[in-house]
Structure 1
Amino acid sequence: MAAIDDLINQIPDVSLRERIKQEANRLQKNKKFGLVYEEHLPECTLLYGVKIKAGSKVALKSKRINKIFRVEKVEGHNAICNQSGTNATKKIPLEQLISIAEFGDPIYPYLKKIDSVSTAPKSNPWHELIEADNYHALQLLTYVYRGKVDCIYIDPPYNTGAKDWKYNNDYVDANDSFRHSKWLSFMEKRLKLAKKLLNSNDSILIVTIDEKEYIHLGLLLEEVFPEARIQMISSMTNKKGSTRVGSFSRRDEYIYFVFLGEASIARSNDDMLNFENKKISSKTIWNSLLRRGADGSSRRENPNLFYPFYVSKGTGKILKIGESLSLNESRNKVVAPDGCRLAWPIRSDGSEGRWQISVDTAKQMLKEGTIKSGRYNKKTNSYAINYLKRGQLNDLKKGILVKTGIDNNGAGIFEYTNQALVNAEPGTIWVKESHDASVYGSTLLKSILPDRKFPFPKSLYAVLDTLRFAVGNKKDATVLDFFAGSGTTLHALNLLNAEDNGHRQCILVTNNEVSINEANSLKKKGIFPGQEKWEKYGIARYITWPRIKCTVLGVDTKNKKLTGNYGTHTTIYKQDTVDTLISKKTGKILKKKFYVKEEKDDYPLISNIKLSDGFKTNVVYFKLGFLDKTFVALGTQFLKLLPVLWMKAGSIGECPSIANDTALPNYMILPKNKFAILLNERNYHEFINKISDDSNIETVFIVTNSDDAYREMISNLEKKETYQLYKDYLDNFRINIRG
């Protein structure tokens, strides 16, 4: 900027010079540091079922949405439309048009039940599949789950340019000078909404990606979640590799973990580098008290942590702990009594280091038996000192680690009550045979959906392991996946619940797009989006929901029982026999080898679960639609909003419904669903008498246009969650939500 300022100062016209200075300063202040890309043109969503009227935004059904029209008026079966940015009008048949919403337009969503499967009606909460554009689904979910989600796991499009699968994976626009702009703009909008859903005090966002966008995604995550701790995992997904001509074969993908608040990974006995579970030795409980490494490990940097331990020569028992020495005091002035050695924090190169805890803490731990002497070192003429870290002390308080006795020197003997809870400190590189997407993704999915194709599904066990780290210690967690694909996330979460008797809830969101080839074929037949013959081939109805339903019931799409057990994989491990044969044609000796296959048990807690067992769980399938806000305000859309209220109340019990031809009641009390609704204010006293002391009712919705009346009516409901309809709903969506 200095050179530009110098040039500006050379402009003789004072007025012009000042104007240019002001503009230059403005541009400098608006400069973005970090990730820079073009904000992309607004996205559009097709609003099926929304009536076209004057003022509606519409597009042609049969074409890509690159032309947006605004309806000036409707004349019979035609709409008089004005194309955005022009004054020209055009008459278009209504049957050729569809209502649309651009990014940022207020929308008023509702949920229409499509199907459900229930094998444990008393189990709560219910899982949910929502068929929708995920941006508008996220807007709805901010009304229902704001700040309540424990984990979001997403596998977004990788921007490879592919157009032959059920998500358009091409996010490069011809108008973008930076090929990643459209994809980044697409992701940013969704990540900003996702942030509103996550519990800011304790939650984890997980995003998988490949080499096309991992750098840009990392920068975007840093920008959207500046307060978070972020780590990236490299996970092997294909041991054979995906060929890149002239380049390295790709065998892995990347997984970003974004930790919010106090979130941390759950404990595991798996270091993610081996193919079999290994038990953790009890020796790993104890840790060296000597601070290692270069930074902050010298006596000079932390003189208060330089003090001696008095250790018995005969038994190795710590007899007492001395006081810290100042920097100008030599350790040689401290003399050990007969039969005793001094243990100082001396590093391997002979220099003076420091301990990791204070004198007072060490003395307290000595009383508790959580610090002890270790191996004698002839080089330093001293004993190593070992202690329990904060993590082990927390485990001791929780009962995960238990004190089973005291050794001869007074130190505690500790054991973990469950080896599955021992921290094996998994690293950032995962290499597991069960994560092979070709076998435990594609092949597994083919066995469930034998008559359908879906390319590149995730390995079930890769997702299971990822979720276990995120919510393994939260049995009532809420998990969201808004790029649901084939539904692997719910499948994996059902397995995790089966493994530890958890009650985690999963919310899946996917659109109902069809592949490019299918779309072209259907359009040639005069079949377009929104029509039943089109919709049945979309990803939600053709892949995601069938997988969910089949895995819950333990059958494939042909209603045949699934075979095999979860948590195992088959591998050839040895040659068993060889048969010698003689060819009848050539007379040559032929040898036929036979191999024995072995079932390896990678997940012992679920390896006794047969795929044919299915799962004891409940799932409901909704399609997201859009309402006219005027009719919502008038209260005529209650039937359509009931599933949204059910979700807001916790998705407990089967979603209630009322027949379209049934008159609305004055109020609804739904103890099995844990909520109640007052629809007619005149029945308030009768309503309040029935619910005020009912512990089964946890959420109350009150329909009233008066804020004062609402405040008065909830004055007796302090212990219950209350909402004012339809104000609460309309206010949430009236705001122009841009993330």
Structure 2
Amino acid sequence: MALIDALIDKVADRELRQALRDQVDSILNKQSFGLVYQQHKPETVELPRFQVRKGCKVRAPSKGEDLYLVERVNGETVTIATMTDEPKRLDISREQLVVVREFGEPIYPGLHPVGQVSEGGEKRPHVVINAENFHALETLLYTHEGQIDCIYIDPPYNTGSRDWKYNNDYVDGVDQFRHSKWLAFMERRLLLARRLLKESGVLVVTIDEHEVDNLGLLLRQTLPEAEIQRVTIVINPKGNNQTQFSRVDEYAFFCFHGDANVVDGPDSGLGDVANSEPVWGMLMRRGSNSLRKDRPTMFYPIIVEDDTGRIVGAGDPLDPGTPRASVKAQRGTRLVWPIRTDGSEGRWQIGRDRLLEQVSEGTAKVGARGGIQYVSEKGRKGIKSGAVEVTGTAHDGSLLLRWNDRTTKPKTVWFRPAHNAATYGTDLLTNLLGERDQFPFPKSVYATKDAIRAAVGDRPDAVVLDFFAGSGTTMHAVALLNAEDGGERQSILVTNNEVSSSEAADLGARGVKAGDPEWEQLGIFHHVTKPRVTAAITGKTPSGSPVGGDYLGTVTPMADGLPENAAFFELTYEDPDLIGLGRKFQAVAPLLWMKAGGRGRIIDKPVKDWTVPVDAFYGVLFNCDKWRDFVDEISFRADEIAHAFVVTDSTATFQQILLEVPSQVECTQLYADYLRTFEINTEGRA
């Protein structure tokens, strides 16, 4: 720069010298350090189910990737024009067109409910939205600007294997601009994400080696006020041999804003586990040396009383070769043997005498699903030392136990078996969904839970956003964290309904196109995210069978589900004129509910005058002539009402009503506030 400054100073023409100086200053202000990449043209999103109307931008796939403007719609024939200085017009069938929205154009979104699941009583439901995530982020600026505690995202890793799209095309390894496209793609979303975070919010972004260095610079460039630290997470101890070194890890950037700090956890993440393992374990041995023939003295029947479910005794070990059918249970009891899931004969962890000793002290029992559980020697020592607390006695005489709370600061390298993405990501997803085609490379739910706990483990009512939600691991992780500490955190998930590139090719070859029911049902939202969230909450797979297995670190069966609620929506694109006339209230209604905190019922239909339902936490005034009755009801319930919406075109009327509404109740003018928000939030400006 010193040389350029010197050269500029030599320019004799003062005006030219100043013009050159202004241009250089402008460039330096735009890019002050480090990361230089092409700012690619704004992205576009195709809306195959959106109605073709006059004024829409459309693409005609049979005509290439050019955009056209709809000039006239006459039945099924549409007149479109090229977007050039001298437009060329042609008539084309409506079914050959797909509506396109360019980023930077105003959108006026709504939400259409597509299902719910309720197992959590009065808890706020998790919100799952099928949408292009840039437009979803613009939508959330209306409902949650400055209100998100934690954003956790797992964006495309840009591996070159066609794992993401830019402008409706899959980006592959031969695209010479794939890195700059990825950076432009990410920057647009990070600028919006920054506006959604609280002043003390935390952003967590996971990534692998393909973009880790670029992402680190981009985060520091986009979030200069944040304290940023990178954590290495071992997700595949076996290693990935597709690289020079066998890769076992990936990375998570934690970006702390304001006074946010990392939250201590039950262990550091680097093997020195304090209390993350369960006190109770399964008595039947697994893994190596676990068959009857390996330790015949550990193969004996445990006698359980039918009425009470108590262990009342144990038989002698059977000699090798003696069939277990030769031992009969007495009336009112049953015999439990160490039989493996494949039907073969296993063996117990401890011998008969030790078992009877533990039954008498309350450290052996029948588990919730009929298996025998016991406290390991480590746990028994913990009881004596005080590391394990006895909180009471169960109806069967067994002790109620828990590790005393101990926390430690997480380290920058996490190496825990629970973070294995194959076992607790892919295999767990198969367990939840059955053998249907799935989302590739899902995260370990426990790795995600640990990351979210490090960010908001001390905020039991936090709102956690994931706008690259994929299979829905983040909601599952938040629900598990709630189950651990009794929190009522809410997640908001955004995922699109894309099919994979191979599925798209197969469907296209059969004449099935985006927007057709068969195509949509194979998309991520409908085929994976929605059923995964439902299965995690209900404990049932999409086929209705119980989810197998227990949650790691507990003896809680996955089939018991999780006490949570979830609401599913699809983003819609609305006509602002109809919004302003109040003719699209049903589309806007879920946004008002979210803006009011996302609790209770959604007011989904307009009424004549006003409504403040007893099972809702906000109210809507439709007829300002009745404002006094509305304000009286809001005032009467001011301790529970979070928001009041007033439908009026008159700012003066709204201001008058606002003065009468209790100060703790937020008040919003409809539809002026909605329309103004989406007119100014079209480019993701920081």
Q: TM-score, normalised by structure 1?
A: 0.71
- The alpha-carbon distance between structure 1 residues 517 and 172, as it changes in their structure 2 partners (threshold 3 A), is closer
Secondary structure of the 1:692 match is helix
Q: Report if the CA contact (8 A) 1:166-1:538 is conserved.
A: no
Which residue identity lines up with residue 647 of structure 2 in the other structure? V
Find the counterpart in structure 2 of residue 58 from structure 1.
58
Q: Report if the CA contact (8 A) 2:162-2:172 is conserved.
A: no
Give, in whole Å, the separation in 1 of the partners of 2:101 and 2:276.
55
1:707 aligns with 2:654: no
Deviation at 1:217, TM superposition (A): 0.5
Secondary structure of the 2:257 match is strand
Give, in whole Å, the separation in 1 of the partners of 2:7 and 2:455.
56
2:620 counterpart (651, 668, 677): 677
Equivalence map 1:437-476=2 (5 Å): 437-452=421-436, 453-476=438-461
Deviation at 1:95, TM superposition (A): 1.6
Give, in whole Å, the separation in 2 of the partners of 1:68 and 1:702.
39
1:592-634 CA-partner distances (Å, limit 9, x unpaired): xxxxxxxxxxx3xxx0321011011110000000100010111
Which residue identity lines up with residue 409 of structure 2 in the other structure? E
Deviation at 1:85, TM superposition (A): 3.2
Find the counterpart in structure 2 of residue 723 from structure 1.
668
1:111-140 CA-partner distances (Å, limit 9, x unpaired): 0000110012x3221110000000000011
Q: Report if the CA contact (8 A) 2:117-2:566 is conserved.
A: yes
Find the counterpart in structure 2 of residue 636 from structure 1.
583
Secondary structure of the 1:91 match is strand
- The alpha-carbon distance between structure 1 residues 128 and 237, as it changes in their structure 2 partners (threshold 3 A), is same
- The alpha-carbon distance between structure 1 residues 566 and 736, as it changes in their structure 2 partners (threshold 3 A), is closer
Find the counterpart in structure 2 of residue 101 from structure 1.
101
1:190-219 CA-partner distances (Å, limit 9, x unpaired): 01111111001x111000000011111111
Q: TM-score, normalised by structure 2?
A: 0.76
- The alpha-carbon distance between structure 1 residues 199 and 169, as it changes in their structure 2 partners (threshold 3 A), is farther
Q: Report if the CA contact (8 A) 2:472-2:532 is conserved.
A: yes
Q: Report if the CA contact (8 A) 1:269-1:419 is conserved.
A: no
1:428 aligns with 2:409: no
Find the counterpart in structure 2 of residue 222 from structure 1.
220
Which residue identity lines up with residue 650 of structure 1 in the other structure? G
Find the counterpart in structure 1 of residue 265 from structure 2.
268
Q: Report if the CA contact (8 A) 2:539-2:561 is conserved.
A: yes
Find the counterpart in structure 1 of residue 340 from structure 2.
none
Deviation at 1:93, TM superposition (A): 1.5
Q: Report if the CA contact (8 A) 1:164-1:517 is conserved.
A: no
1:235 counterpart (233, 236, 247): 233
- The alpha-carbon distance between structure 1 residues 62 and 687, as it changes in their structure 2 partners (threshold 3 A), is farther
Give, in whole Å, the separation in 2 of the partners of 1:7 and 1:470.
50
Deviation at 1:703, TM superposition (A): 0.1
Q: Report if the CA contact (8 A) 2:161-2:173 is conserved.
A: no
Secondary structure of the 2:195 match is helix
Equivalence map 1:137-176=2 (5 Å): 137-163=136-162, 171=171
- The alpha-carbon distance between structure 1 residues 621 and 111, as it changes in their structure 2 partners (threshold 3 A), is same
Q: Report if the CA contact (8 A) 1:156-1:208 is conserved.
A: yes
Equivalence map 1:168-207=2 (5 Å): 171=171, 179-200=178-199, 202-207=200-205
Find the counterpart in structure 1 of residue 510 from structure 2.
525
Which residue identity lines up with residue 54 of structure 2 in the other structure? A
Equivalence map 1:273-292=2 (5 Å): 273-274=270-271, 276-278=273-275
Secondary structure of the 2:629 match is helix
1:611 aligns with 2:549: no
Give, in whole Å, the separation in 2 of the partners of 1:8 and 1:274.
59
1:439-482 CA-partner distances (Å, limit 9, x unpaired): 11111111111232221000111111111111111110000000
1:203-255 CA-partner distances (Å, limit 9, x unpaired): 1100000001111111111011111100000000000001135x101100000
- The alpha-carbon distance between structure 1 residues 611 and 37, as it changes in their structure 2 partners (threshold 3 A), is same
- The alpha-carbon distance between structure 1 residues 278 and 113, as it changes in their structure 2 partners (threshold 3 A), is closer
Secondary structure of the 2:522 match is coil
Give, in whole Å, the separation in 2 of the partners of 1:540 and 1:730.
28
1:389-410 CA-partner distances (Å, limit 9, x unpaired): xxxxxxxxxxxxxxxxxxxxxx
Give, in whole Å, the separation in 2 of the partners of 1:175 and 1:448.
36
1:627-674 CA-partner distances (Å, limit 9, x unpaired): 00010111101111111111111111243434xxxx743222123221
Find the counterpart in structure 2 of residue 46 from structure 1.
46
Which residue identity lines up with residue 76 of structure 2 in the other structure? H
Q: Report if the CA contact (8 A) 2:58-2:99 is conserved.
A: yes
Find the counterpart in structure 2 of residue 627 from structure 1.
574
Q: Once structures 1 and 2 are overlaid, which stretch shifts more, 55-64 or 269-278?
A: 55-64
Q: Report if the CA contact (8 A) 2:163-2:171 is conserved.
A: no
Q: Report if the CA contact (8 A) 1:156-1:207 is conserved.
A: yes
Deviation at 1:531, TM superposition (A): 2.0
Deviation at 1:2, TM superposition (A): 5.2
Q: Report if the CA contact (8 A) 1:108-1:628 is conserved.
A: yes
CA RMSD of aligned residues (A): 2.5
1:255 aligns with 2:252: yes
Q: Report if the CA contact (8 A) 2:585-2:604 is conserved.
A: no
Find the counterpart in structure 2 of residue 323 from structure 1.
none
Structure 1 unmatched runs, 5+: 281-417, 568-602
Secondary structure of the 1:261 match is coil
Which residue identity lines up with residue 95 of structure 2 in the other structure? E
Find the counterpart in structure 2 of residue 732 from structure 1.
677
Find the counterpart in structure 1 of residue 530 from structure 2.
545
Give, in whole Å, the separation in 1 of the partners of 2:170 and 2:274.
40
Find the counterpart in structure 2 of residue 136 from structure 1.
135
Structure index of larger Rg: 1
Secondary structure of the 2:162 match is coil
Deviation at 1:84, TM superposition (A): 2.5
